[in-house]
Amino acid sequence: MTPAPEIEKRRRDIAALLPDLKADALLVASSANVRYLSGFDGSNGLILLMPGETHFFTDPRYAITAHQNIAGKVHVAKGPLVAAAAKVIQRKRLKRIGFEAGWTQYDAFERLQKALGRASSLVPVGRVIEERRMYKSPDEIDTIRRSVNLNSEAYAKVLKRIRPGVRELDIAAEIEYQMKMLGAEKPAFDTIVAAGAHAALPHAHPGSYRLTGNELLLVDMGAMLQGYCSDMTRTVHLGTPPKRIREMYNAVLEAQLAGIAAVRPGVTAGKIDVVTRRVLKQHGLDKAFVHSTGHGLGLEIHEAPRLGKKDPTKLAPGMAITIEPGVYLEGFAGIRIEDTVLVTETGCDVLTPSPKEFIVI
Ligand code: ZN
Ligand code: ZN
């Protein structure tokens, strides 16, 4: 659980942005942002944040947890949460209400506008909470570190069970079972287990395909621990890998290590993408690298910044990001190597402890 003083500080920092946003209060609806500002992990919560005061709205299913755990004024509403929030807005005579434009559903927006009438206006605000969420606190870093270690521990256990005859689905199920046995709430995303040419699909779904004794296996897995995600990809080979596959693996590893070596405060997220892509180009594999180099992670598996060439965000200490170049050749193979790293004052810490040499099973 996030310590109460930290939640309090987050709320203060976001409320301090309100004058610049020309808003008297901010309505927060996205579940990760609601969790960030309250600790609430249910499916139906809404926050009305203003300087010195926070109102939290939920439905009767969450009444007990909300009253026990959430600081500020808790409202349990029987109907739509926005209608309950509108009542508070009217009572407090708040004029300009910021809302998360990227997260507000149109019907919720309409309902709110109708409930507020002419007395207040709705002001769309950008991803201000997401921007603050890029900078992890020591407490968040500690949780991410534990999530990453748990994920690698689950991987080490499952690695021993990979052999010809098992299905992709068996491996995915075993991974998710081991994560939970080690204390994870759930996987941070649908586990990817892809054999042979199937691995050429970067987001392949595990199926009933049984491993042969001679092919690649790509595993992309992440755990969620106390709300925080980890993310790792490893590619191994059953049987002796052909020369072409070994060369591809070495190229991806070289790109991944170059990306990690380039991470330090002040460097843009986009620059890291340029670095990994340049290495793959030297190996004639840049066209086979079809996604960005990585992403921030925290309460969500994909957060800001995005390590794509257009992202101008300057990396800063406390950011948790992934470095995950990959190459995908249709009908042949896919290789990706992904670590979670933490930006430090001088460079970065690779949090993922799992080895990266090409494992042959
Ligand atoms: Zn991943
Ligand atoms: Zn990732």
- What pLDDT score does 107 carry? 87
Average pLDDT over residues 94-113: 90
- What pLDDT score does 111 carry? 87
pLDDT for residue 54 is more than 80: yes
- CA–centroid distance, 320 to ligand 1, in Å, is 14
pLDDT for residue 1 is more than 80: no
Q: Are 306 and 268 in contact (CB under 8 A)?
A: no
Distance CA 259, CA 357 (A): 17
Q: Tell me the ligand closest to 294's alpha carbon.
A: 2
- CA–centroid distance, 306 to ligand 2, in Å, is 10
- What pLDDT score does 105 carry? 85
Query: Which residues crowd ion ligand 2, with CB under 5 Å?
Result: 231, 322
Token pair in block for residue 250:
């070495």
- What pLDDT score does 298 carry? 98
- What pLDDT score does 104 carry? 84
The DSSP-derived string for 2-36 is --HHHHHHHHHHHHTTHHHHT-SEEEE-SHHHHHH
- What pLDDT score does 61 carry? 97
- What pLDDT score does 284 carry? 98
Phi and psi angles of residue 337, each rounded to the nearest 5 degrees, phi first: -130, 125
pLDDT for residue 311 is more than 80: yes
Average pLDDT over residues 87-92: 95
Distance CA 339, CA 334 (A): 17
Average pLDDT over residues 43-68: 97
Q: How far does Cα 247 stand from its chain's mean position?
A: 31
pLDDT for residue 73 is more than 90: yes
Q: Are 209 and 166 in contact (CB under 8 A)?
A: no
296 pairs with which residues across the strands?
303, 321
Average pLDDT over residues 39-45: 95
- What pLDDT score does 108 carry? 84
- What pLDDT score does 125 carry? 95
b/e per residue 247-281 (b: at least 16 CB within 10 A):
ebbebbbbbbbbbbebbbbebbbbbbbebbbebbe
Mean of the per-residue pLDDT values for the chain? 96
Average pLDDT over residues 340-344: 98
pLDDT for residue 110 is more than 80: yes
Q: Which single residue is written with the structure tokens 């309090």?
A: 8
pLDDT digits (tens, 9 = 90+) for 149-187: 999 999 999 999 999 999 999 999 999 999 999 999 999
Average pLDDT over residues 124-140: 96
Token pair in block for residue 251:
């190229």
Radius of gyration for the chain, computed over Cα atoms and rounded to the nearest angstrom: 23
Q: Tell me the ligand closest to 293's alpha carbon.
A: 2
Q: Are 273 and 235 in contact (CB under 8 A)?
A: no
Q: What is the sign, positive or negative, of the torsion defined by CA atoms of 20, 24, 29, 34? A: positive
Q: How many CB atoms lie within 10 A of CB 78?
A: 8
pLDDT digits (tens, 9 = 90+) for 194-252: 999 999 998 889 999 999 999 999 999 999 999 999 999 999 999 999 999 999 999 99
- What pLDDT score does 293 carry? 98
pLDDT for residue 119 is more than 90: no
Average pLDDT over residues 18-44: 96
- CA–centroid distance, 87 to ligand 2, in Å, is 41
- CA–centroid distance, 127 to ligand 2, in Å, is 21
pLDDT for residue 82 is more than 80: yes
pLDDT digits (tens, 9 = 90+) for 253-262: 999 999 999 9
Q: Tell me the ligand closest to 296's alpha carbon.
A: 2
- What pLDDT score does 256 carry? 98
Average pLDDT over residues 78-83: 92
- What pLDDT score does 203 carry? 87
Distance CA 186, CA 179 (A): 7
Q: Are 303 and 130 in contact (CB under 8 A)?
A: yes
Distance CA 307, CA 296 (A): 8
Distances (CA, A) of 282 to 285, 301, 355, 357: 8, 30, 25, 21
- CA–centroid distance, 148 to ligand 2, in Å, is 12
Q: Tell me the ligand closest to 234's alpha carbon.
A: 1
Q: How many residues are recorded in the chain?
A: 361
- CA–centroid distance, 239 to ligand 1, in Å, is 24
Q: Tell me the ligand closest to 321's alpha carbon.
A: 2
Average pLDDT over residues 2-19: 95
Distance CA 102, CA 116 (A): 20
Token pair in block for residue 271:
């620059």
- What pLDDT score does 34 carry? 97
- CA–centroid distance, 102 to ligand 1, in Å, is 24
